[in-house]
Amino acid sequence: MANANTKPSDLSPEQYPEIFLEAQYLRMIPYDYRVWDRYLYSKCPEPDDAVLLLGVHVWLMKLKFTAGIIGEWCENGEFVENARKYIRESNYVYGNRSKIEGFLEQRGAVLTTPLSSDTTLGTQSTDQWLAQGRACVKSGRPSEKHSNPRVMAQMDDDWIKKRNAYFTFGVIVWGALPSPLWVLENINLDTYFDMGFPVAHNSYLNDELTLRYINAFRGSIIKGVSQYPFENFYKFWSSETLHPRFEQWKETEPVFTENFRTFWKRKASGQKPE
């Protein structure tokens, strides 16, 4: 693969809010590191800080501030000042007001520092994104409710599946290996199983499977950047079908490819792998 420090082209002005809003709907941090950095998640040293920052973003959106305006505040170092002002004056309450206001008070100086122009990413940034993403998954479902309980139950189920898929896509975009221990944190973090890693029985197959996911669904040689949108990944993920690129592997790893294909068939039918 090419040098991981290769500088990517910038996103268009429209793409920043688009990717941000996609993540906002699923109450997740953006998978693209440029959007993740623009909206200040890169400045959150603790995973729970990212959840609180997400709460600030949601609150401001509920007050009718657009993703574009919020992004401009972040770029200009005005985010904390404006967020504190409008939240303090607001009659609307989202989440734990005291925690959110305390977060803005305690982390205000860090969140106001200029955005980094560094386009390289190391292991530390990957670990930071993964920890923040897991914290978002564990934070649960938004509080909005539907009057029909059956509709609400289906909405919950569909939303949770899509949110879990978004986290999985982020794991791929950041080129990370999921841990089988994540599920001990939360049942929705069984990413290791969901991606088929139980049938990759050694480090070589782990690395190869990770690379196949990157080639099929990220495309880019740069961590934190994807050539393909999340919806492309979700189409395959929700239908539990193999991407054609995985089939091309059977010439070099026929036994593993067959086991992997069997895994997906069993998973689609609701069975656990043998």
| Residue 264 confidence class, pLDDT cut points 50, 70, 90 | confident
Q: Residues 171-220: pLDDT tens digits? A: 999 999 999 999 999 999 999 999 999 999 899 999 989 998 999 999 98
Evaluate whether 156 touches 204 at the Cβ level (below 8 Å).
no
Task: Inform me whether the pLDDT recorded for 108 exceeds 50.
Answer: yes
Evaluate whether 126 touches 176 at the Cβ level (below 8 Å).
yes
Domain range summary for the chain, segments of one domain joined by +: 13-118, 156-274
Per this entry, what is the length of the chain? 274
pTM: 0.89
The predicted structure's pLDDT at residue 119: 52
Rg, Å, the chain Cα set = 20
Share of the chain above pLDDT 70, in %: 86
The predicted structure's pLDDT at residue 9: 66
Q: Residues 19-69: pLDDT tens digits? A: 999 999 999 999 999 999 999 999 998 999 999 999 999 999 999 999 999
| Residue 4 confidence class, pLDDT cut points 50, 70, 90 | very low
Q: Please tell me the distance from the alpha carbon of residue 50 to that of residue 37, in angstroms, as a whole number.
A: 12
Task: Inform me whether the pLDDT recorded for 145 exceeds 70.
Answer: no
